[in-house]
Amino acid sequence: MKKVIKNGTIVTASDTYQADVLIENEKIAGIGSAATFGHVDDTIDATGCFVFPGGVDPHTHLDMPFGGTVTKDNFETGTIGAAFGGTTTIVDFCLTEKGKPLKKAIQTWHDKSAGKAAIDYSFHLMIGEMTEDVLKELPSVISNEGITSFKVFMAYKNVFQADDATLFETLIKAKELGALVMVHAENGDVIDYLTKQALAKGQTDPIYHALTRPVEAEGEATGRACQLTALAGSQLYVVHVTCAEAVKQIEEARKQGADIWGETCPQYLVLDEEALRKADFEGAKYVWSPPLRPKEHQDTLWNALKTGGLQTIGSDQCSFDFDSQKSLGKDDFTKIPNGGPIIEDRMSIVYSEGVEKGRISLNQFVDITSTRAAKLFGMYPKKGSISVGADADLVLFDPSVERTLSVTSHHLAVDYNAFEGMQVKGVPRTVLSRGQVIIHNGSYVGLPGDGVFIKRARYGNTLSNDRVEL
Ligand SMILES: NC(=O)NCCC(=O)O
Ligand SMILES: [Zn+2]
Ligand SMILES: [Zn+2]
């Protein structure tokens, strides 16, 4: 089965050019003039569209338990939403429990995703402790499971938070095994103290979520993680960076030659702390950890994306219904489940606010929403690339369409849109996952369950047609 995408403008992380793309079965089989491709079974016209490699979202939480409830969007609704937004690969966080085998946690995540995912996916593995049992299991996590990134939480005291010894040992072990360590960098002990103080004063509204998680707590934890990484001679990826204090730490460490990468998310680029003050408990819709920051941090984040101080955009998709789930924290902000719905709007917001407003170039857009994450997480050039042999994960993006983001038009299960009313330019008109059209002109035409699990290469290695075991 041969398909051709004709008349589009191909945009990669490095180049922009006119060419047609030949797809044979699941792969890109040629790039050039359709006239040279011979007989094809199907032609897709991309006139007026950019042809991007499918988005790679390195940070999602689907079907994840949190604060006594479970995210509203699961692997089916979440990945369909992702596909509508032009994302064709996600890496979700597999939570682990202390004292329980890692293998069991991984199996739980396979059970949640297999047969449901509409796009390809992989997992990062949470490390909450570094025991003899964990140490014994890690080599197999890398070489058999194909999971080559570990996540350590420096916050959420008494829930997910790991101590510095665990972080340091994880960094050392990751270096030895070829994994990338990811951190949620906030000082959980300081936040715990400030939270208790606020509650004792009767400060229970959503805004106190932000006020008890100051930028200093993020800056300090980010700096600590960077220092420990340099000491271990390891590699680090800081998730959801929100503020100038954290950016400064990452930039400084990189200047010193440390192997450190930083991600931010659309919400921190376009929303600010004032949203948490909305009346009638509406502020709860904007409760993320780390929290939204005062507006002045947005310029720092955009500048860091432009100049390379931050390198990726994850969604941190973690949705909870406003009516039945966020409401758990009506009388106590600490009980509001953290997170929001972004997986679908991630690329449109970054295109519209970034490229259209001249903050980043078109090629940078592809790099930060797709290619860089594919490289860092061992999936390139299979994912994140338009090249012969790569998976035919492609987005035909029409930049001329103007639309309004809304709960009434999004495709997630959750009952609100954090970007309600926001005007964006551009829409993914057609989306292909491994050569199959899954989104076309506003309809999902794929099959849930067609997404497959990607076993990833070790940190710094490439992944081509078949997994490379090095
Ligand atoms: N970010 C957030 O508020 N929720 C998801 C969990 C996490 O990434 O910390
Ligand atoms: Zn986090
Ligand atoms: Zn997250």
| HEC letters along 196-239 | HHHHHCCCCCCHHHHHCCCHHHHHHHHHHHHHHHHHHCCEEEEC
Can you tell me which residue has the tokens 């959503």?
A: 206
- Cα–Cα distance between 456 and 470 in angstroms, integer? 11
Determine the straight-line distance between the first and last CA of the chain, rounded to whole angstroms.
32
Evaluate: CB of 316 within 6 angstroms of ligand 1. yes
- Cα–Cα distance between 288 and 342 in angstroms, integer? 12
- Cα–Cα distance between 457 and 318 in angstroms, integer? 26
DSSP per-residue letters across 292-303: P--TTHHHHHHH
Evaluate: CB of 318 within 6 angstroms of ligand 1. yes
Q: If we measure between CA atoms, which residue out of 182, 190, 241 comes closest to residue 213?
A: 190
Q: Closest ligand 1 atom, CA of 59? A: 8
Ligand nearest to the CA of 152: 2
Evaluate: CB of 161 within 6 angstroms of ligand 1. no
Distance of CA 402 from the midpoint of ligand 1 (Å)? 30
Task: Supply the residue whose CA is at minimum distance from atom 2 of ligand 1.
Answer: 339
**How do beta strands 9-11 and 16-18 pair?**
antiparallel
* Overall pTM > 0.95: yes
- Cα–Cα distance between 211 and 72 in angstroms, integer? 26
Q: Closest ligand 1 atom, CA of 288? A: 3
- Reading phi first (left if > 0) and then psi (alpha if -120 to 50, else beta), residue 77 is in alpha
8 Å CB contact between 72 and 62: no
Q: Hey, what are 467's tokens?
A: 């997994």
Q: Closest ligand 1 atom, CA of 338? A: 3
Evaluate: CB of 213 within 6 angstroms of ligand 1. no
| Pocket test residue of 94, 316, 317, 346 for ligand 1, highest count of atoms within 8 A of CB | 316
Ligand nearest to the CA of 59: 3
- Cα–Cα distance between 317 and 82 in angstroms, integer? 10
8 Å CB contact between 76 and 451: no
Q: Report the DSSP beta bridge partners of residue 70.
A: 65
* Rg, Å, the chain Cα set: 21
Distance of CA 352 from the midpoint of ligand 3 (Å)? 23
- Cα–Cα distance between 86 and 399 in angstroms, integer? 13
SS3 state of residue 90 = strand
CB atoms within 10 A of CB 238: 27
Distance of CA 402 from the midpoint of ligand 2 (Å)? 32
Give CA angle at 209 (205, 214), nearest 5°: 140
Task: Supply the residue whose CA is at minimum distance from atom 7 of ligand 1.
Answer: 289
Evaluate: CB of 61 within 6 angstroms of ligand 1. yes
Distance of CA 406 from the midpoint of ligand 2 (Å)? 25
Distance of CA 288 from the midpoint of ligand 1 (Å)? 6
Can you tell me which residue has the tokens 């070829």?
A: 178
Distance of CA 125 from the midpoint of ligand 3 (Å)? 12
Distance of CA 3 from the midpoint of ligand 1 (Å)? 40
| pLDDT digits 0-9 by tens, 187-241 | 999 999 999 999 999 999 999 999 999 999 999 999 999 999 999 999 999 999 9
pLDDT of residue 378: 98
- Cα–Cα distance between 26 and 3 in angstroms, integer? 10
CB atoms within 10 A of CB 409: 12
Task: Supply the residue whose CA is at minimum distance from atom 8 of ligand 1.
Answer: 316
Distance of CA 293 from the midpoint of ligand 2 (Å)? 15
Q: Which ipTM did the prediction report? A: 0.99
8 Å CB contact between 183 and 306: no
Distance of CA 119 from the midpoint of ligand 2 (Å)? 23
Residue 357 Cα distances to 42, 263, 351, 424, angstroms? 36, 20, 9, 11
pLDDT of residue 462: 96
Burial class (CB within 10 angstroms; exposed 0-12, middle 13-18, buried 19+) of 390:
buried
DSSP per-residue letters across 13-47: SS-EEE-EEEEETTEEEEEE-GGGS---SEEEE-T
Distance of CA 233 from the midpoint of ligand 3 (Å)? 25
Q: Closest ligand 1 atom, CA of 156? A: 9
Q: Which amino acid is at 107?
A: Q
Evaluate: CB of 288 within 6 angstroms of ligand 1. yes
Evaluate: CB of 312 within 6 angstroms of ligand 1. no
Q: Closest ligand 1 atom, CA of 289? A: 3
In tens digits, the chain (470 residues) has pLDDT values of: 999 999 999 999 999 999 999 999 999 999 999 999 999 999 999 999 999 999 999 999 999 999 999 999 999 999 999 999 999 999 999 999 999 999 999 999 999 999 999 999 999 999 999 999 999 999 999 999 999 999 999 999 999 999 999 999 999 999 999 999 999 999 999 999 999 999 999 999 999 999 999 999 999 999 999 999 999 999 999 999 999 999 999 999 999 999 999 999 999 999 999 999 999 999 999 999 999 999 999 999 999 999 999 999 999 999 999 999 999 999 999 999 999 999 999 999 999 999 999 999 999 999 999 999 999 999 999 999 999 999 999 999 999 999 999 999 999 999 999 999 999 999 999 999 999 999 999 999 999 999 999 999 999 999 976 544 43
Task: Supply the residue whose CA is at minimum distance from atom 5 of ligand 1.
Answer: 339
Task: Supply the residue whose CA is at minimum distance from atom 9 of ligand 1.
Answer: 289
Task: Supply the residue whose CA is at minimum distance from atom 1 of ligand 1.
Answer: 289
Residues 6+ apart with CB under 8 A from 111: none
Q: What superfamily would CATH give domain 54-376?
A: Metal-dependent hydrolases (3.20.20.140)
| pLDDT digits 0-9 by tens, 146-186 | 999 999 999 999 999 999 999 999 999 999 999 999 999 99
pLDDT of residue 468: 43
Distance of CA 388 from the midpoint of ligand 3 (Å)? 33
Residue 352 Cα distances to 282, 365, 389, 404, 405, angstroms? 25, 10, 30, 12, 12
- Cα–Cα distance between 336 and 162 in angstroms, integer? 22
- Cα–Cα distance between 183 and 186 in angstroms, integer? 9
pLDDT of residue 464: 79
